[in-house]
Chains A and B, each alone.
Chain A
Amino acid sequence: DVKVTQSSRYLVKRTGEKVFLECVQDMDHENMFWYRQDPGLGLRLIYFSYDVKMKEKGDIPEGYSVSREKKERFSLILESASTNQTSMYLCASSSPRGKLFFGSGTQLSVL
């Protein structure tokens, strides 16, 4: 089975802090994604990466950056956390046939 692992289930941070969300997948997938999920807004794509060191902006990249130094790991960075970044963050990876698999999510609260 595909496993997408997010390092934290819950995080509480203060406004202005730099926040790192880590994600690891074990299926050698080329493509990895970061989404945020908010009530009433569904899943929105922040960034995706189609290869090591390659990235593309999604629909809502403002306030975020990403890092993909190794194929299995995709990190989301909040350079200076703000309260409107309080959300559930979901990492995903996709198989060559396009099947998308999600991690269990990180619920981030920014105070």
Chain B
Amino acid sequence: DTGVSQDPRHKITKRGQNVTFRCDPISEHNRLYWYRQTLGQGPEFLTYFQNEAQLEKSRLLSDRFSAERPKGSFSTLEIQRTEQGDSAMYLCASSYIGSNEKLFFGSGTQLSVL
């Protein structure tokens, strides 16, 4: 068990470009979560999946954001037409139903939009 893995670790992009991040959860975990953390703040919930179903989305997740978990394993988070305000760390976490809500977090993807 290697924990929650996120790729890439850092991403620098120009405003207006599209970016995609990947998250590989712990293998037996059926829930997967995306959070966003800006400088000086705690993480903010974006969305979560149970298996392949996206069950909840935050109002923070604008139309430019889309998340998928096609086979109930890894997940991708895409941001279209990036803006400077999208600069943040994007954290992924996973858990197993019945684990008393214990979330395991990855090390995040740091996005910088120039």
Q: Decide whether A and B are members of one complex.
A: no
Task: Give me the interface of A with B, judged by CB distance under 8 Å.
Answer: none
